[in-house]
Amino acid sequence: MSFEKKDQRLSAEQNSILEWLFANIPKSTTDAFGIRWMPGKWGLTSTPSSRAAYSRSLKRLEERGLVLRQNQVSGNPYTQMARASKDEPHNRTTHVQLTQLGEELAATLFSERLT
């Protein structure tokens, strides 16, 4: 998948979320739900409008196949297990996983920022 088309470019906020996830998700994680989604604890602003903006950015990243939002409390409402695809039902986000495509793009973004 290419992100060169104008309608597929990622916003600065989406880029920063991907970079943060890439830098902070343990590469050897065994947690099926991914990393805890707590932007307020990461030093990011935590106002109602900023939380809504982060939520929209995560949803857009998931729609592009770059992350998978999880709910560890209830999981998939039908199976109580981690979601395997964005097409499965979703209630609220407690954890986030990078997909393979998301990890590849985040690695590129992260390395470009360091050079």
The ranges of the chain with pLDDT < 50 are 1-7
Domains and CATH numbers, the chain: 6-114 (1.10.10)
pLDDT in tens, 56-89: 999 999 999 999 988 877 665 556 677 777 777 7
48: which DSSP letter? H
Residue 49 has, within 13 A of its CA and on its CB side, a CA count of 0
Give the global pTM. Answer: 0.77
pLDDT at 4: 46
Measured torsion, CA atoms of residues 31, 33, 38, 39, in degrees rounded to the nearest 10: 100
Hey, what are 38's tokens? 């707590």
Give percent of the chain above pLDDT 90: 11
Strand partners, 67: 98
